Amino acid sequence: MYDEKGAWTTHTRETKPSYYQHCFVMARSARQFFDNARFDPSLPPVDDSIYREGIRRVVKASPRRPLPEAQKVIFPGYADLRSFSRQHEALLKSECGSATQSYIQIGNWRTIFPFTRGHQDRMARQLVTHLRNHHPVLVHVVRFPQLSINHALLLFDAKEASSEIEFSVYDPNNPAHPVSLFYERATQSFRLPPNNYFFGGMVNVYEIYWRWNY
């Protein structure tokens, strides 16, 4: 991880992580639950087998278009995904998808082509437009050919100012609270602040799960 000075540090984990490299799966699944699931705390909880089938129906649906309202999956006994995940963490991990899906995501081809500043400016405007339709946006964040970051984020809000756009983000690596991704108008560049897995700075961004070849 990166320390407060931007230096990469390593240490031996006392317990080997059992769930890692699932950022695309987690970000995609979060949007699929937003689109396709409804939580109803007024209903009594049900057996895990019913919740398992519900999770499978949610993640089986296309991440590019929501299910019709009549086909939304009801999760009784919980107010939202966060409260549900606290009680059914293992169930969600087992059913939402494997880490392999992060490596075979169809839009990965885009990473090998140059990202021009004009492309990033158009992308920033596209993201704001899509968010205005009250629909969370999935993005791939890269610094190819460097390997310092190769990550998926879910954007759910945007605040525009004269000099920049601040996107509010669900980050699968830091799920406890929202983080920010910035777009700087002067440089036509996205910037991700330092965190525990990235030293911070300019990144390239493109939207995924929004058309057939992404």
For 103, the 3-state DSSP assignment is helix
* 8 band by pLDDT with thresholds 50, 70 and 90: low
Mean pLDDT to the nearest integer, 42-51: 98
What is the distance between the alpha carbons of residues 106 and 56, in angstroms, rounded to a whole number?
A: 21
What integer pLDDT is reported at residue 101 of this predicted model? 82
* 9 band by pLDDT with thresholds 50, 70 and 90: low
Mind spelling out the 3-state secondary structure of 30-97?
HHHHHHHEEEECCCCCCCHHHHHHHHHHHHHCCCCCCCCHHHCEEEECCCCHHHHHHHCHHHHHHHCC
What integer pLDDT is reported at residue 157 of this predicted model? 97
* 21 band by pLDDT with thresholds 50, 70 and 90: confident
Domain boundaries, the chain: 23-103, 106-208
CB 195 within 8 A of CB 179: yes
Say how many C-beta atoms besides its own lie within 10 A of residue 108's C-beta. 16
Mean pLDDT to the nearest integer, 122-146: 94
Q: Which two tokens stand for residue 151?
A: 């990550």
pLDDT digit string, tens, across residues 148-182: 899 999 999 999 999 999 999 999 999 999 999 99
pTM above 0.95, yes or no: no
What is the distance between the alpha carbons of residues 184 and 1, in angstroms, rounded to a whole number?
A: 26
DSSP code at position 111: G
Judged against a pLDDT cut of 80, whether residue 18 lies above it is answered with no
